[in-house]
């Protein structure tokens, strides 16, 4: 206790922070009674740093679930009374807390409890940091806007090691209730600045958005996941990060899952880094390109060829969801060519017999399996109907599925054939205009003095 009294009774703030910076735990073994006595004598709201350091020491020495359980009440007290104003004076304590909570989760094999503690702490810190937000500024005030986002920003909600560890433990716990709470408390809170609370600026930023995308994936909120993963490539970097490579793999799978095509990275990302990242994820690029052809046979073969890679990268679940969603993209793709198509013909067009659902003989014929799949799609633009004893798929214009606005004139329907003819005519007109433009440039160059001189020299 005498060592901790040195912290409490430091002569000056500089002496206090020097002691805290060079701190070493005065105990060699875990003593629950001693730690509980010291923690009970302190008010976390008035001595947040000392209280947190004692908790760090206790969690570092605890080794069993029972020992960690004795610290449950002090941890809960910290979640309610932690004071950001004091934490901001010594941000290193956040890294120490994140480290020992991760250790507790590993040794006790209880990531769910660790995540719940971290969510509560982050929620308290976010509320206090939000009070320091600056008022809105004009977009023309570039200098002030730059200072806000800089590493020296001391205003608004900032990223901390506890945010990142909270997401990590949430993924390890793999519980939907925790995913929902983390998404609501942590991810839904806008970050106002990167700041210095997380130590290095780049790696914490990349980790946070990488894990955030994975949390949204667990909630099947794929558009939000894609947004978070795009942010990983929205920062200037001199080198390629391993985090960016892993994110690119998941981003590629998720984009095909949602849109049926391979996604592109943000335009601000360094073009010279794109090719090396794609080479590190060549199998994922090949799968995305195969899916973009809307040929199930090619996509399934690419998926089967990279099965071991998916297992190694822990992306098998996301890839399986992609393969299950692939026939839906293929069925919708046919709407650009066909208005109505017999079910057996549609199965041939998209090679549904090569899909795992089409190969399963327990599900009946290929046509029956495809019919059930289309029904489960619940897509109002794809209608399964029977005509003369033959099952067929009829494609409905998306505008016909939208409820009209009361009092508004209904837009006239345009037949699909007219849309195609108009599109072809527009493309032909563009081609003719481009050809005429190139001819004018060719004639202009032929009459210039420099072109004529070079032609004579060549002759």
pLDDT over 80 at 311, yes or no:
yes
Query: What is the tens place of the pLDDT at every residue in 196-228?
Result: 666 667 889 999 999 999 999 999 999 999 999
pLDDT for res 3: 78
Q: CA nearest 79: which of 127, 36, 121?
A: 121
Buried b (16+ CB within 10 A) or exposed e, 248-277: bbbbbbbbbbbebebbebeeebeeebeeeb
Domain ranges of the chain: 2-199, 237-334, 338-399
pLDDT over 50 at 457, yes or no:
no
3-state SS record for the chain: CHHHHHHHCCCCHHHHHHHHHCCCCCCCCCCHHHHHHHHHCCCCCCCHHHHHHHHHHHHHHCCCHHHHHCCHHHHHHHHHHCCHHHHCCCCHHHHHHHHHHHHHHHHHCCHHHHHHHHHHHHHHHHHHHHCCCCCCCCCCCHHHHHHHHCCCCCCCCECCHHHHHHHHHHHHHCCHHHHHHHHHHHHCCCCCECCCCCCCCHHHHHHHHHHHHHHHHHCCCHHHHHHHHHHCCCCCCCCCCHHHHHHHHHHHHHHHHHHCCCCCCCCCCCHHHHHHHHHHCHHHHHHHHHHHCCCHHHHHHHHHHCHHHHHHCCCHHHHHHHHHHHHHHHHHHHHHCCCEEEHHHHHHHCCHHHCHHHHCHHHCCHHHHHHHHHHHHCCCCEEEEEECCEEEEEECCHHHHCCCCCCCCCCCCCCHHHHHHHHHHHHHHHHHHHHHHHHHHHHHHHHCHHHHHHHHHHC
Higher pLDDT, 234 or 321: 321
Query: What is the tens place of the pLDDT at every residue in 259-292?
Result: 999 998 888 888 888 899 999 999 999 999 999 9
Query: What is the tens place of the pLDDT at every residue in 98-137?
Result: 999 999 999 999 999 999 999 999 999 999 998 887 666 5
Does the global pTM surpass 0.85? no
Q: Which residue do the tokens 């008022």 mark? A: 135
Give the pLDDT band (50/70/90) at residue 4.
Answer: confident
Query: What is the tens place of the pLDDT at every residue in 38-75?
Result: 999 999 999 999 999 999 999 999 999 999 999 999 99
Joined together, the tokens standing for residue 240 give 């390629």
For residue 362, the Cα-to-chain-centroid distance in whole angstroms is 37
pLDDT over 70 at 395, yes or no:
yes
pLDDT for res 139: 52
3-state SS record for 80-119: HHCCHHHHCCCCHHHHHHHHHHHHHHHHHCCHHHHHHHHH
Average pLDDT over residues 413-417: 54
3-state SS record for 410-442: CCCCCCHHHHHHHHHHHHHHHHHHHHHHHHHHH
């Amino acid at each position: 206790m005498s060592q901790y009294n040195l912290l409490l009774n430091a002569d000056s703030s500089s002496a206090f922070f020097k002691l805290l910076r060079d701190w070493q735990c005065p105990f060699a073994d875990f003593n629950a009674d001693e730690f509980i006595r010291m923690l009970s004598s302190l008010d976390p709201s008035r001595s947040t740093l000392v209280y947190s350091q004692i908790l760090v020491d206790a969690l570092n020495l605890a080794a069993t679930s029972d020992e960690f359980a004795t610290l449950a009440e002090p941890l809960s007290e910290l979640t309610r009374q932690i004071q950001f104003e004091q934490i901001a004076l010594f941000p290193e304590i956040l890294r120490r807390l994140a480290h020992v909570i991760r250790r507790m989760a590993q040794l006790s094999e209880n990531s769910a409890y660790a995540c719940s503690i971290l969510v509560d702490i982050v929620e308290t810190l976010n509320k206090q940091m939000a009070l320091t937000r600056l008022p809105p500024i004009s977009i023309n005030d570039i200098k002030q806007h730059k200072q806000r986002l800089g590493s020296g920003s001391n205003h608004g909600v900032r990223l901390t090691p506890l945010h990142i560890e909270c997401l990590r433990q949430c993924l390890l716990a793999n519980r939907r209730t925790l995913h929902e709470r983390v998404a609501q408390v942590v991810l839904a809170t806008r970050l106002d600045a990167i700041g210095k609370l997380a130590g290095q600026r780049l790696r914490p930023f990349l980790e946070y958005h990488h894990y955030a995308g994975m949390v949204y994936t667990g909630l099947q909120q794929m558009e939000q996941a894609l947004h978070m993963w795009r942010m990983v490539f929205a920062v200037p970097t001199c080198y390629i990060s391993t985090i960016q490579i892993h994110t690119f793999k998941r981003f590629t799978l998720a984009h095909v899952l949602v849109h049926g095509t391979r996604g592109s990275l943000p335009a601000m990302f360094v073009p010279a880094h794109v090719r090396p990242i794609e080479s590190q994820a060549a199998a994922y690029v090949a799968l995305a390109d195969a899916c973009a052809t809307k040929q199930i046979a090619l996509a399934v073969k690419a998926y089967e060829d990279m099965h071991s890679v998916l297992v190694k990268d822990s992306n098998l679940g996301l890839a399986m969801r992609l393969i299950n969603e692939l026939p839906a993209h293929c069925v919708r793709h046919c709407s650009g060519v066909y208005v109505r198509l017999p079910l057996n013909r549609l199965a041939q067009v998209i090679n549904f017999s090569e899909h795992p659902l089409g190969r399963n003989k327990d599900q009946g014929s290929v046509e029956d399996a495809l019919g059930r799949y289309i029904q489960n799609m619940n897509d109002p633009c794809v209608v399964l109907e029977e005509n003369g004893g033959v099952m067929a798929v009829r494609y409905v214009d998306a505008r016909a599925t939208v409820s009209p606005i009361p009092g508004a004139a209904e837009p006239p329907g345009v037949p699909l054939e007219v849309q195609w003819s108009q599109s072809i005519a527009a493309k032909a007109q563009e081609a003719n205009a481009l050809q005429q433009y190139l001819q004018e440039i060719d004639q202009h160059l032929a009459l210039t003095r420099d072109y004529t001189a070079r032609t004579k020299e060549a002759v």
